[in-house]
Each structure stands twice: as C-alpha cells, then as structure tokens.
Amino acid sequence: MSEPPSPLVDLTPEELSALTRSTVSHYQRHAEDFREGTKDHDVSQNVDALLRHLPGPSTQRILDLGCGPGRDLATFVARGHVPVGLDGAAAFVAMAQATTGCEVWHQDFLALELPAERFDGIFANAVLFHVPTQELGRVLKDLRRALVAGGVLFASNPRGPDIEQQQGLRYGSYLTMETWSRFVTAAGFELIEHYFRPPGRPRAEQPWLATVWRAL
C-alpha cells in the first residue's frame, strides 16, 4: 500500500469532537426537512454503479453508510438485497428503521464499530466528505476491514480544490480526484471506475465525484 496524503488540516481531539457534534446536530435538527428535500433525488446511477460490481449475482449484504432517512435502504431491499443502515443522527436512525424495517446502527463515523468481513458492498453516498482528512485514512481502513475479499466501496463526494473547512454547522473536505484516490488507494482499495454528476452536463456543472473501489 502507498502512503496516504498528509491531512489538509491538523485538529486536536477536542476540535474533532466539536466538529463532529456540530455536523451531526445540523442533520438532527433538520432531519424532517432533509427527508422531504431528498426523497425524490435520483441516485439510481450511483446505486447501479455499486450493484454491478458486487462480487456475486445473488442477494448481497450492503452497508448504507450515512443512510439518512432510509431512501436508499428501501431501494436496496426492493432490488433483492439485504442492507444495513448506519448513521450518526439518531433522528435518521429512527426514520430509516420505521420506513424500511431494516437494521440500522447509530454510530459516530469517527468511532466505527463494524464487524470484520460482514459486507459485500458499502454504499457511501454524500457522506465521507464529512470525515476530516486527518481521520480519513483510518475510517477507510475500517470500511475495508468490514468488506469481504473483493468487496466493493462506492463513494460520492462533492469535489473541490483540496480544501477542508466548516460551512455553517457542517464540516467538509472537498478533494480533487487525485487526492481522494490517494487516500482510498492507501487504505487497500483499487479503483474500478469513476464519473462526475449530474450526468449530461459540462464538467464545470458537475460538482459531484463518484468513485467505485474493489477491496484488495
């Protein structure tokens, strides 16, 4: 494995704790608005990107990391798979469980407790950019350990010129393809494919970077 890039920002344990609480509190307070605002978002391109690379044709075990209110959990169930949700906001955990009946774990992204080799795929849609780059390599290794050999990680993040900052109550890292790839490769993954979203627009109007990775 290669060495991951240096963190964009060096944070103390107290600062890490504070920014995590702030980000989660934003989603906790706006959970209902978030559900209403995102329930009709079409992320079928992202779902398909994960599913077509999973290691087997039959029912697959999928972790929906940052599952929010459960929209994509419901999609995975409808497609015949067995998903488990995970979110840091208790309101989202309750919503996702009530909506889908799936198992949903309430965990801090910076303190994940995931069973080893449990999942065939991990769907991280619009979530890992909230992880500070100081902790990103460690979190990605946690996800790698939770995948079976040959398992697949899908991640979609807003891209940017390698900046990391607080925006309102939420904290985010906005990375180039090159920097993001170095972090994920160093954690034990190889790139399968990538694309930019929304589809069909000029690159300048595609703020989202989607990447699909195979666990080595």
pLDDT, one tens digit for every residue, the chain (216 residues): 678 889 999 999 999 999 999 999 999 999 998 898 898 888 999 999 999 999 877 899 999 999 999 999 999 999 999 999 999 999 999 999 999 999 999 999 999 999 999 999 999 999 999 999 999 999 999 999 999 999 999 999 999 999 999 989 999 999 999 999 999 999 999 999 999 999 989 999 999 999 999 999
Kindly report the CATH number assigned to the domain that includes residue 102: 3.40.50.150
211 belongs to a structural domain: yes
- Domain residues for the domain of 30 are 13-215
Q: What is the dihedral sign for C-alpha 79, 82, 46, 195? A: negative
Token match 């697959």: residue? 60
181 belongs to a structural domain: yes
Q: Rounded distance, CA 26 to CA 23, Å?
A: 5
Q: Rounded distance, CA 70 to CA 30, Å?
A: 15
141 belongs to a structural domain: yes
3 belongs to a structural domain: no
DSSP reduced 3-state for 200: coil
Number of domains within the chain? 1
End-to-end CA separation in angstroms for the chain: 10
116 belongs to a structural domain: yes
DSSP reduced 3-state for 62: strand
62 belongs to a structural domain: yes
pTM of this prediction?
Answer: 0.96
61 belongs to a structural domain: yes
Helix (H) or strand (E) holding 86: strand 82-87
186 belongs to a structural domain: yes
For the beta carbon of residue 79, count every other beta carbon within 10 angstroms: 14
